[in-house]
Structures are given as C-alpha cells and as structure tokens.
Structure 1
Amino acid sequence: MAQPTEGRAPAYIDTSKASIARVYDYALGGKDNYEVDRETIERVRKVAPEVNQLAIDNRAFLIRASRFIATQTSITQFLDCGSGLPTAENTHQVVQRLQPEARVVYVDNDPTVIAHGRALLEDNELTHFSAADIRDPQAVFSDPAVDGFLDLDQPVALFQIGTIHHFEDSDRPQKIMADYVERLAPGSMVAIAHFFDPENADSDLARRMEQVFVHSPMGSGRFRTMAEIQGLFPGLEMVDPGVVPCYRWWPDGPQLGPEDAVQRCIVGGVGIKK
C-alpha cells in the first residue's frame, strides 16, 4: 500500500504529532497517513494484534446506523461530528443513496480533514463542512455551515462515532453530550460508538489498549464503562438493542467468523429524543 512521504506533507500538517483522523485512516487501510500515525496503531498491535478491528467495527456501525435512520425514520438532516477522512461509504453516500434530499454536515477541525471537507463542498451541494471544535456544542450549532444549512427546529441525526473516547474526563464528556442533546429538536436521534471497558475478563485487554493509546503519539483513547457510556445518552429513549458491541448492533447477518476479544471492547447505540 502506497504511503505519503513526510517530505511531501502540506505545510499546514504537523507530522510530528499523530492525528486521530489519520490514525483511523491507517487502521482502515487508507493512505492519508504518516509514520507518526502508523506508529500509534503498531504500538497497540503489540498488546492487541486485532486492533484494526476497532476501526473496522466503528466504521461498520456508522454505516448501519446511517442506513437505519435513513430508512426507518423521516429524518433527512445529519450532523456527523469528528467525521474523519473520507473513505468508502461515508455518511452522505449512505444516506443520500437512500434519501436523495438528505442534508449532511461534517464537523472536524483536523487540518487534513478540513482540506478534504472543502473538496466535498465542490462536489455535493447537499453536503457541507464545518471546522468547529466538536468539544464545543455552541460553536458547532452556531457555525453558519450548520445553522445556515440545517433546520435546527426539525429533527437531526447527530453522530459521535469514535469521537468521545478521545475526550478526557476533564472535558466532562457527559456534560458536553447533555448540551448537544438539549439543543436538538424533539424526534432527533443520537448515535455514539465508544471504546469500552467490559469490566469482565476482557477488561485487562481494554485497559492495556488504553494505556498504549494515551501514551502514544496520538495521546488519547479512553475505554469507559457501560455506566459512563450510557451517561452520554441523557434522557434519550434507546433503540433496541441499546448499547452493545458495535458488531452486534443490527448486524447485516449472523456472525459466522470467530469473535475477537477486541470486538467486545467497542460499543455503539442509538437514542431518540422524545
């Protein structure tokens, strides 16, 4: 797989520090990453050889949640926070194939992602991009790319897929999500995928991965408990089966292959604001 060279990196990209978006890109087999990004995954691979499965299941959950909302609800507005780098089956591709009039706003302040986000604006008038900080709901909702494009008085599907586990506890992630939910119109839906500490035999694996992630060049990746993750859906009515390992949330078919322990260390769920 061809990889970009640091010597050709655009001036606005700091290749001395890993980017969350580029680390995910590498884990998914992409080419928009640098040595410092690859180092993060390779460090984790030493304690969890199947680490790429975290990114794969995270992405698959995004696709299934997008398809579910586009086909099973009347929501046609999507706010994808921490969208990351474009790959196969992005949110707008999934939902606009099913609901051609669907409007999608991606939010990400990673310089590499911003460059790709601007390209999206050229290709699709129903897909916009915001460079707001997803840790600041007020900044997100007041950005003209969001407020001027989505009708925030109507239901919105809010995605935080693989983002909140990069928030430190000091960021008060439950408070941030309560702020997001408060700003959403009734009928809105919230989809979250998050690294998970099962508090059972797999807990040691989760905590070993966490230690490597937070001490890697990326510097983040918290594995939270079920109670902590459920607290990210304040006052929402959960869609069955609730918060479960991502690969078990409305799977496309039965699990025929072996289940990796890593797969039990990332969960997802979708809640509805009544």
Structure 2
Amino acid sequence: MSDGGRGTAVDLRLDRAHPARIYDFLLGGRTHFAADREAARRMLAVFPQAAAAARINRAFTHRAARHLARAGMRQFLDIGAGLPTSPNLHETVQAIRPDARVVYADNDPVVLAHAAALLRGRPEGRTAYVQADVTDPAAVLGAPRLRETLDLGRPVALTLIALLHFVPGDGRGGAHAAVEELKAAMPSGSTLTATHATREFAPAAMSAVGEVCRRAGTPFRLRTEAEFRRFFDGWELLEPGVTLTHRWRPDRPGDALRATAAESACYAATARKP
C-alpha cells in the first residue's frame, strides 16, 4: 500500500517492534505493543538516557519547525512521521502559518490507523498522510495525496527526524541515495531538516542500542558527524550548522547546558537548497 488506501485490510505486524512505536513509548505515549515495549526496555537497560534523548530530539523538531515557519516556509513533508504526539508538526507550523500545508509519510501501518489524528489541522491549511517508505522516494513523491496537498514547484521543508539511522547502507538503495533522490525533487529554497543517532559520545551504550534494535528485527546504522554531513551535500547549512540536537538554537540561554552530549547522542542540522 503506497497511499494509505482506506478500506484496505492492513497487517499491523504487532508481533514485531517498530521504531515509531518504540519512540512513542520513550516519549510516554500510549500506542505501543508488547514487542515495542520489550525492545524499548532493553534499550533503556543499555542506554538509560534513551527517553531523555527522545525528548531532546522532539524538542529540536519543534524549534526547527518554528524557525522555518517564521522564515516563511508554508509547505512541509515529514517522512518517518511516527505516531501522533501533540503538538504534531502541523500544529507547530500552523500556529505560526495557519495556511501551511503538511504531508506526513510513514511505513508503519499502525500510524496509518491513527492518521485521522494527524489530519486535524487548521481550516486555512491542509494536512495529508501517505503510507510509504523513505527507501522508495518515488512512491512518497508520487503519492496522489501528496500531489494534491503540496506544490513541488514551490519550496518544501523536508523533515527526516530520527529516521535515517534506521536505513542501512550508503550505496545504491541506502540512506544517502534515498536522501539525494528526495533532494533532487525539491525546488530552490527548499530545506532539509534531519537528526541522526551517533556513537561518538556514548560509544558502548549506542552500540548496545544498535544490537537491541537488530535483535528486534529493526535495522540500525549509527553514523559519524562526517557521514551525517553528507546528507546535506550541495545545500547551505543554516546556523549553527551540524551540531547535537540540544545545541541547535536553544529557546533560552542555558537550555543547552541542561543536557549532555551523551544524553543527546544525536546530530541535527537544517540546510537550504540554493
């Protein structure tokens, strides 16, 4: 299923942990199942800061979205959207730009089941949901609901939050190739916002997290700062460039001091297409 076809039977695969539901558990959400909770608890056993890292990542998402909306962005494509946790991306940006248009995409069928919650936006704007995987950019970009909602001839804020470390490989069919295909489809003035887990500040713990994910059937690829920077090749990084999630434009002076690099364990950046 590539476009959230309603009325079609969906295999929810509840016996297998999924990153979106593990993330929901870590954020204190309610939409997770036994396999997800087991994987999350094993993750917390080896990386007790996992819940804090999830919250820090979520806070970065809100800051970056507000910054882009205030800068004039009115179209957002959030791939790897995850389960609805208010405030969602559309709530954040439509509070600033009521006419903003937001498309969510995710490959978790459980997210599809909750899509109605994602679609409650401001009447001046539009929101839509696409059932698709980042590793198939053509399916994402060609989805009818996306085409009905976004004008790909105008700047789009592409958002890939805590997603790319679940995409293995760097060659054809891998994470970098998928991102390059998405970037190529975006017009000048578009932006790319992404976060990515790294082992560079808590190597033993993050390596153990990767092993937990792989044992749960979820691919997990930690990347270095240099490897993360490659996702933005050819685009202009916005200040402060590539940094840790808690250090990217904190709302108040001193906010960045309330977390450590080991707690964040995740790089973040936003860049604009020339």
TM-score, normalized by length of structure 1? Answer: 0.89
Shift of 1:218: 4.8
Classify 1:133/1:202 alpha carbon distance in 2 versus 1 (closer, same or farther; 3 Å): closer
Secondary structure in structure 2 of the residue aligned to 1:134: coil
Amino acid of the structure 2 residue aligned with 1:176: A
Distance in 2, Cα, partners of 1:38 & 1:103: 33
Classify 1:122/1:245 alpha carbon distance in 2 versus 1 (closer, same or farther; 3 Å): closer
Distance in 1, Cα, partners of 2:26 & 2:163: 15
1:25 aligned residue? 24
1:188 aligned residue? 190
Secondary structure in structure 2 of the residue aligned to 1:65: helix
Amino acid of the structure 2 residue aligned with 1:259: A
Amino acid of the structure 1 residue aligned with 2:27: L
Pick from 100, 103, 106: which aligns with 2:101? 103
Amino acid of the structure 2 residue aligned with 1:252: D
The answer to whether residue 215 in structure 2 is matched with residue 203 in structure 1 is no
Q: Judge conservation of contact 2:57–2:264 (CA < 8 Å) in 1.
A: no
Q: List alignment gaps of at least 5 residues for structure 2.
A: 1-8
Moved more, 183-192 or 247-256: 247-256
Shift of 1:263: 2.5
Shift of 1:97: 0.4
1:53-108: CA deviation from partner (whole Å, max 9, x where unpaired): 2211121111111001001x221000000100000210000000000000000011
Moved more, 123-132 or 86-95: 123-132
Secondary structure in structure 2 of the residue aligned to 1:269: strand
Runs of 4+ in 1 over 4 A off after TM superposition: 122-125
The answer to whether residue 115 in structure 2 is matched with residue 117 in structure 1 is yes
1:7 aligned residue? none
1:50 aligned residue? 49
2:82 aligned residue? 84
Shift of 1:50: 1.4
Q: Judge conservation of contact 2:246–2:259 (CA < 8 Å) in 1.
A: no
- Percent of pairs with identical residues: 34
Map 1:36-75 to 2 at 5 A: 36-71=35-70, 73-75=71-73
Shift of 1:214: 2.0
Distance in 2, Cα, partners of 1:99 & 1:151: 16
Q: List alignment gaps of at least 5 residues for structure 1.
A: 1-9
Classify 1:100/1:122 alpha carbon distance in 2 versus 1 (closer, same or farther; 3 Å): closer
What is the RMSD computed on CA atoms of the aligned residues? 2.0
TM-score, normalized by length of structure 2? Answer: 0.89
Secondary structure in structure 2 of the residue aligned to 1:267: strand
Shift of 1:258: 5.0
* Length, aligned pairs only: 261
1:162-183: CA deviation from partner (whole Å, max 9, x where unpaired): 1111001164211111111110
Secondary structure in structure 1 of the residue aligned to 2:176: helix
